[in-house]
């Protein structure tokens, strides 16, 4: 029966060290598992690909070992394994001492941010005391002031078993003080193996970087964008119902062919993270390598993937990488940079921005990266929001920061300079809101100056080109403006109508009222009202906007009182049928006007057309 995966103490440990120094033999001596599975590995006597073994100590501590190849040709595979480890078992043969890949693997672990480890000086059965002392001296020089400075050094022989109990003790110690590298709460499982299992279908394995996986969950294979479902989970060969951050996990997937799987893909929650092809990185170059000066084609390793990247040096501390194929990357992720020819690791770094701001010059880019490097989310969040002209969605911040929507909303609510829109989906800065409100005040001030006698500006115009969510955020709770129907005005605005204009408006209304059901063309009525020709149209439109006059069709305008009269008369005769000629008799309206008026009444749902007749609703 699958268990619910109680929080057993467990850790993922990677081997590291020069080829032939005894990594695989040590893992075999410890776990009984020969991680050199491939025929070619057997034939050549060296590890080529990653090997996996798990180990339960006498005290019940579970360690997942990732055994990496030491040969310089297979650093790519070593990197795929090292991306998911918590601690390193650095293996140095006592008779050979520190060699190039001892150094390279050590540097890679350091650059990947591995925090702890154990150093095994192995093959002591083959070495003299002098050799052992020399090796220890070299190790001390290598690890000085590094994460391994205080790591235990254990002298062992995988052949004779000498020192193995001290190694077990050191492992127990390591697990007791274990803390997971926090890579955020979002589900990410960089895949290091994918295969078909008879009767099960597709299985992928990897270290779960963040979040939790449960059987039945939907997942997405990124950057392919293929969705699948979790049929089953295994940890240490045991079926479980959930897997948590930091655990080496085997995932049985349905809905995806084994052939679609390759190392380097990453399992995420569907539609949560977005692949990117541009990264800005705080870089650290290894000493003794030839540094890239301006631009160079390199290989970038992230998670379990290796991607060709075009590197642009911004300054000594920052680079930008244009990736040949997209990757899932989040701020804080560690990467390794390698030169393809001659093959060498030249540095590594921390991703500062997986979706760099565009249209910045080099100076601005560097300044921006400096603040991202120096600050935490309290710097990053306002920066990301404010560099967009109208804020951004909470959803987009998930793939830009690696924080869940819920934690982002929490941070936004707690911040003094950011706020959520009413629907909780969008975030803007207080500075943006202030600026937009000022813009609205400026707009209304100008509008009122030009139209002193108009009660307000049409809302559609005052939305300043923003969508409803954003413009409502500006209007809501803003005491300087007042909304009335579909008009908005400054709170201080009182429509003032000059007496002369008031008289003109009155005369126009009078003409339309007089015309009743027989209105002449609106322009003729305006002439009769004797208003200055230049103002005719404006005054007419204003009366229509204010609802004093009602436009029934393009050339037919009635006074509101006339239509109110129709409305009240109809209200008393619900259900009655009448013909067009009856309607004409009743209103004395000409046939030319009757049809558009009836259509207007239909549209207003006062009447309904029924053959040649109308029914009062
Ligand atoms: N005498 C002796 N030989 C060892 C010891 N550990 C490994 N070897 C041998 O060294 C060779 C390389 O070991 P292996 O574990 O494959 O090295 P790796 O490349 O670091 O994985 C093999 O022939 C092993 O049998 C040891 O402690 N003592
Ligand atoms: Mg090996």
Closest ligand 1 atom, residue 25 Cα: 15
Query: Where does 399-542 show beta strands of DSSP type E?
Result: 418-420, 426-429, 457-458, 481-484, 487-490
CA separation for the pair 397, 401 (Å, rounded) = 6
Residue 3 DSSP class: B
Confidence category of residue 61, pLDDT binned at 50, 70, 90: confident
Q: Tell me if 23 CB under 6 Å of ligand 1.
A: yes
Closest ligand 1 atom, residue 28 Cα: 15
What Å distances lie between residue 114 and 90, 149, 150, 246, 487, CA to CA?
12, 13, 14, 13, 62
CA separation for the pair 145, 470 (Å, rounded) = 52
pLDDT tens, 192-222?
A: 999 888 888 899 999 999 999 999 999 999 9
Q: Ligand 1, from 20, 40, 131, 157: best to mutate by most atoms within 8 Å of Cβ?
A: 20
Q: In what order do the strands lie in the sheet with 613-616?
A: 577-579, 613-616, 607-610
Side-chain-side CA neighbours of 313 within 13 Å: the count stands at: 12
pLDDT tens, 14-28?
A: 999 999 999 999 999
Query: What is the structure's pLDDT at 2?
Result: 37
Task: Please determine, for residue 487, whether its predicted confidence score (pLDDT) is greater than 90.
Answer: no
Query: What is the structure's pLDDT at 7?
Result: 47
Q: Tell me if 400 CB under 6 Å of ligand 1.
A: no
Nearest CA to ligand 1 atom 12: 20
Nearest 5°: CA angle at 523, between 520 and 524?
Answer: 50
Q: Which two tokens stand for residue 126?
A: 């083959």
CA separation for the pair 220, 208 (Å, rounded) = 14
Query: What is the structure's pLDDT at 140?
Result: 97
Q: Ligand 1, from 22, 44, 50: best to mutate by most atoms within 8 Å of Cβ?
A: 22
Give the helix, strand, coil percentages of the chain, each rounded to 5. 35, 30, 35
pLDDT tens, 324-343?
A: 999 999 999 999 999 998 88
Closest ligand 1 atom, residue 71 Cα: 19
544 three-class SS: helix
Taken in order 546, 552, 558, 562, is the CA torsion positive or negative? Answer: negative
Q: Ligand 1, from 25, 71, 94: best to mutate by most atoms within 8 Å of Cβ?
A: 25
167 three-class SS: helix
Residue with tokens 């009660």: 455
pLDDT tens, 510-527?
A: 999 998 888 778 888 888
Task: Please determine, for residue 1, whether its predicted confidence score (pLDDT) is greater than 60.
Answer: no
Strands 116-122 vs 153-155: parallel, antiparallel or unpaired: parallel
pTM: 0.78
Q: Tell me if 21 CB under 6 Å of ligand 1.
A: yes
DSSP string, 161-190: -TTHHHHHHHHHHHHHT-------SS-EEE
Strands 305-313 vs 318-327: parallel, antiparallel or unpaired: antiparallel
Q: 318: which residues sit within 8 A by CB, 6+ positions away?
A: 280, 281, 282, 283, 352, 365, 366, 369
Residue 526 DSSP class: H
- CA–chain centroid gap for 228, Å, is 20
Query: What is the structure's pLDDT at 390?
Result: 92
What Å distances lie between residue 21 and 73, 93, 124, 343, 346, CA to CA?
16, 5, 11, 21, 23
CA separation for the pair 236, 238 (Å, rounded) = 5
Task: Please determine, for residue 8, whether its predicted confidence score (pLDDT) is greater than 50.
Answer: no
């Amino acid at each position: 029966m699958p268990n619910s995966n109680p929080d057993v103490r467990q850790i993922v440990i990677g081997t590291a060290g020069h080829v032939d120094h005894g990594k695989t033999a040590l893992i075999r001596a410890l776990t009984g598992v020969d991680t050199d599975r491939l025929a070619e590995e057997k034939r050549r006597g060296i590890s080529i690909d990653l090997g996996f073994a798990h180990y339960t100590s006498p005290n019940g501590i579970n360690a997942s070992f990732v055994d990496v190849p030491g040969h310089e040709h297979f650093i790519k595979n070593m990197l795929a394994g090292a991306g998911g480890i918590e601690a390193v078992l650095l293996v140095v043969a006592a008779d050979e001492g520190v060699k190039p890949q001892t150094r390279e693997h050590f540097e890679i672990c350091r650059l990947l941010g591995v925090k702890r480890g154990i150093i095994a000086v192995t093959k002591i059965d083959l070495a003299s005391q002098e050799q052992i002392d020399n090796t220890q001296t070299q190790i001390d020089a290598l690890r000085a002031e590094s994460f391994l400075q205080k790591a235990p050094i254990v002298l062992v022989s995988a052949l004779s078993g000498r020192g193995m109990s001290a190694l077990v003790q050191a492992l127990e110690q390591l697990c007791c003080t274990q803390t997971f590298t926090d890579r955020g709460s979002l589900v990410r499982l960089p895949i290091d193996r994918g295969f078909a299992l008879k009767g099960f279908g597709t299985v992928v394995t990897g270290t779960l970087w963040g979040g939790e996986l449960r059987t039945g969950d939907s997942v997405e294979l990124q950057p392919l964008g293929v969705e699948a479902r979790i049929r089953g989970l295994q940890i240490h060969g045991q079926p479980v119902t959930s897997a948590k951050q930091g655990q080496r996990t085997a995932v049985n997937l349905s809905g995806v062919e084994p052939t679609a799987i390759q190392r380097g893909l990453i399992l995420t929650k569907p539609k949560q993270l977005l692949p990117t092809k541009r990264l800005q990185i705080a870089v650290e170059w290894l000493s003794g390598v030839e540094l890239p000066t301006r631009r160079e084609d390199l290989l970038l390793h992230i998670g379990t993937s290796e991607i060709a990247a075009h590197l642009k040096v911004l300054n000594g501390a920052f680079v930008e990488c244009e990736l040949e194929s997209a990757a899932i990357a989040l701020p804080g992720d560690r990467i390794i940079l390698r030169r393809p020819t001659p093959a060498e690791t030249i540095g590594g770094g921390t991703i500062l921005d997986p979706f760099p701001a565009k249209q910045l010059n080099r100076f601005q880019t560097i300044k921006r990266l400096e603040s991202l490097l120096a600050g935490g989310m309290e710097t990053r969040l306002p920066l990301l929001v404010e560099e967009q002209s109208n804020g951004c969605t909470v959803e987009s911040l998930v793939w830009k920061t690696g924080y869940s929507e819920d934690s982002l909303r929490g941070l936004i609510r707690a911040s003094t300079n950011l706020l959520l829109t009413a629907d909780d989906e969008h975030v803007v800065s207080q500075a943006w809101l202030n600026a937009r409100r000022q813009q609205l005040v400026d707009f209304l001030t100008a509008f009122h100056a030009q139209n002193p006698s108009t009660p307000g500006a049409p809302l559609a115009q005052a939305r300043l080109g923003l969508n409803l969510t954003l413009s409502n955020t500006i209007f809501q709770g803003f005491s300087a403006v007042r909304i009335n129907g579909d008009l908005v005005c400054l709170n201080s605005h009182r429509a003032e109508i000059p007496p002369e204009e008031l008289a003109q408006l009155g005369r126009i209304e009078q003409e339309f009222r007089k015309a009743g059901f027989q209105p002449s063309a609106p322009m003729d009525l305006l002439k009769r009202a004797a208003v200055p020709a230049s103002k005719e149209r404006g005054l007419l439109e204003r009366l229509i906007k204010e609802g004093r006059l009602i436009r029934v069709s393009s050339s037919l305008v009635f006074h509101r009182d006339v239509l109110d009269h129709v409305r009240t008369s109809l209200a008393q005769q619900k259900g009655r049928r009448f013909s067009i000629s009856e309607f004409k008799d009743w209103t004395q309206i000409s046939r030319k006007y009757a049809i558009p008026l009836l259509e207007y009444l239909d549209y207003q749902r006062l009447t309904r057309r029924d053959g040649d007749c109308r029914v009062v609703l």
